[in-house]
């Protein structure tokens, strides 16, 4: 009965989920695999590859990429991804999670933000097949990762010797991006302009909502930022219905989003040795002293004064400053009091552990 077989096959094809493929490797529903994307050869002869871990749920849904170490020394996101992909919760995944813990492999090995030649990968998008190493890497990421995703989260930290209070930067005039940014529940939301050459620019052009999460400092693990990042990613996956809604209790409603109006770095008016007076997350008033720069004798002291009311969302940890160094990053808000309340709420939540997110936490 050939007619019946053909009909049966046609019916199966209609209900069969569309294939998901990355670098020629096919990942079936319910399967998870690590795929090494070939980038280039090292001058040692060895091959440089970008490792990608794909988890495909049994049921269809969004395809979310999570990337880290786009800047090779920003390693909190590597740990966020390690914890994420070990969560038993992923057994209930809908759609596809595409986890790329180390995008800038050269930088990660060299413990540097950059690629060889001090090229910044996150200024090299969309890249090209024939360009510099940075351009080729950007091109590969654009085609194999961004090109296969419907949504993305790019995990960053502050630069070397600088810490960021956990914050989400995104194009918040887009309603879906705003909804996901809210679901991340970071204390600070910034409607950030899209930087030329960034992965966010590529995603924006392709209509893919992309969140950039920033938390902690380069070359350090910051437990608070890691936990907030893990919670945030899972919150976004829940909002996308890739994961079931939180079963225990509904999170407290956060009310209207509070978005930073602008942010600015306060720079050192003089070189010297810095003493920081206020921690990250502090609510400061215009003219309030954030720190003091002095000479080694304490004879000449210059106070660093807040240029406006706001919240300190980033700061320098290295006390040795040159004139002009960026020292404090301050966000200004239309509704500053509410923003400060969110930071306080975030701090109080830091110790709460969602039992579903504990699987990957260190013991003890």
Q: Which stretch binds Zn ion (CB under 5 A): 151-159, 178-186, 263-271, 338-346?
A: 151-159
Identity of the residue, 71 or 119, whose beta carbon is nearer to Zn ion in the bound complex: 71
Q: Which stretch binds Zn ion (CB under 5 A): 74-82, 177-185, 286-294, 343-351?
A: 74-82
Identity of the residue, 74 or 182, whose beta carbon is nearer to Zn ion in the bound complex: 74
Q: How far is the CB of 70 from Zn ion (least distance, A)?
A: 6
State the maximum Cα–Cα separation within the chain, in Å, rounded to a whole number.
98
Instruction: Determine the Cα–Cα distance for residues 347 and 309; give it in Å rounded to an integer.
Output: 20
Burial class (CB in 10 A: 0-12, 13-18, 19+), 70: buried
Query: Using CB under 5 A, which of 63, 71, 83, 200 touches Zn ion?
Result: 71
| Contact code string over 102-141 relative to Zn ion, x by CB under 5 A | ----------------------------------------
* 8 Å CB contact between 335 and 212: no
Q: Which stretch binds Zn ion (CB under 5 A): 40-48, 94-102, 153-161, 319-327?
A: 153-161
Could you give the angle at which helices 223-239 and 175-184 cross, rounded to 10 degrees? 130
Identity of the residue, 56 or 71, whose beta carbon is nearer to Zn ion in the bound complex: 71
Q: How far is the CB of 202 from Zn ion (least distance, A)?
A: 16
The pairing of beta strand 259-267 with beta strand 326-333 = antiparallel
Identity of the residue, 74 or 79, whose beta carbon is nearer to Zn ion in the bound complex: 74
* 8 Å CB contact between 51 and 34: yes
Residue spans of alpha helices (H) in the chain: 2-15, 76-85, 105-110, 133-144, 175-184, 199-205, 223-239, 336-349
Instruction: Determine the Cα–Cα distance for residues 332 and 322; give it in Å rounded to an integer.
Output: 25
Q: Which stretch binds Zn ion (CB under 5 A): 64-72, 249-257, 271-279, 337-345?
A: 64-72
Q: Which stretch binds Zn ion (CB under 5 A): 154-162, 181-189, 282-290, 344-352?
A: 154-162
Identity of the residue, 74 or 144, whose beta carbon is nearer to Zn ion in the bound complex: 74
Identity of the residue, 61 or 216, whose beta carbon is nearer to Zn ion in the bound complex: 216
The count of chain residues that interact with Zn ion, using the rule CB under 5 A, is 3
Q: How far is the CB of 192 from Zn ion (least distance, A)?
A: 12
Instruction: Determine the Cα–Cα distance for residues 156 and 147; give it in Å rounded to an integer.
Output: 21
**How far is CA 174 from each of CA 25, 153, 181, 268, 339, rounded to the nearest angstrom?**
33, 15, 10, 36, 21
Q: How far is the CB of 13 from Zn ion (least distance, A)?
A: 44
Q: Which stretch binds Zn ion (CB under 5 A): 9-17, 150-158, 262-270, 272-280?
A: 150-158
Instruction: Determine the Cα–Cα distance for residues 236 and 135; give it in Å rounded to an integer.
Output: 30
Other beta carbons within 10 angstroms of residue 111's beta carbon come to: 12
Identity of the residue, 156 or 171, whose beta carbon is nearer to Zn ion in the bound complex: 156
Identity of the residue, 114 or 273, whose beta carbon is nearer to Zn ion in the bound complex: 114
Q: How far is the CB of 35 from Zn ion (least distance, A)?
A: 24
Q: How far is the CB of 154 from Zn ion (least distance, A)?
A: 8
Q: Give the CB-nearest residue to Zn ion.
A: 156
Q: Does 156 bind Zn ion (CB under 5 A)?
A: yes
Identity of the residue, 71 or 171, whose beta carbon is nearer to Zn ion in the bound complex: 71
List residues binding Zn ion (CB under 5 A): 71, 74, 156
């Amino acid at each position: 009965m050939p007619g019946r077989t053909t009909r049966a096959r046609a019916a199966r094809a209609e209900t069969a989920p569309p294939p998901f493929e990355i670098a020629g490797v096919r990942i079936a529903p319910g399967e998870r695999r690590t795929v090494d994307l070939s980038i280039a050869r090292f001058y040692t002869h060895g091959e440089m590859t970008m490792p990608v871990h794909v988890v495909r749920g049994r049921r269809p849904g969004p395809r979310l990429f999570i990337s880290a170490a786009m800047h090779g020394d920003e390693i909190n996101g590597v740990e966020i991804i390690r914890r994420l992909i070990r969560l038993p919760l992923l057994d209930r995944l809908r759609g596809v999670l595409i986890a790329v813990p180390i995008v800038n492999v050269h930088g990660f090995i060299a413990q540097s933000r950059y690629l060889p030649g001090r090229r910044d990968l996150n200024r090299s998008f969309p890249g090209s097949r024939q360009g510099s190493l940075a351009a080729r890497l950007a091109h590969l990421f654009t085609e194999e990762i961004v090109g296969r995703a419907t949504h993305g989260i790019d995990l960053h930290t502050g630069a070397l010797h600088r810490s960021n209070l956990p914050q989400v930067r995104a194009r918040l005039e887009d309603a879906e991006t705003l909804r996901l940014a809210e679901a991340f529940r970071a204390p600070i939301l910034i409607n950030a302009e899209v930087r030329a050459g960034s992965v966010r620019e590529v995603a924006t052009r392709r209509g893919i909502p992309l969140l950039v999460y920033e938390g902690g400092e380069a070359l350090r693990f910051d437990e608070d930022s890691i936990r907030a990042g893990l919670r945030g990613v899972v919150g976004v996956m829940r909002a996308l219905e890739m994961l079931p809604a939180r079963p225990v209790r509904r999170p407290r409603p956060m009310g209207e989003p509070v978005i930073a109006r602008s942010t600015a770095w306060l720079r050192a008016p003089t070189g010297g040795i810095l003493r920081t007076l206020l921690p990250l997350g502090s609510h400061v008033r215009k003219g309030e002293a954030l720190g003091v720069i002095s000479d080694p004798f304490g004879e000449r002291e210059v106070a660093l004064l807040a240029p406006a009311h706001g919240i300190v969302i980033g700061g320098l940890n290295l006390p040795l400053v040159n004139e002009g160094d960026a020292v404090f990053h301050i966000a200004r808000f239309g509704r500053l009091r509410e923003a400060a309340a969110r930071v306080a709420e975030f701090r109080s939540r830091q110790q709460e552990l969602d039992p579903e997110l504990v699987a990957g936490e260190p013991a003890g």
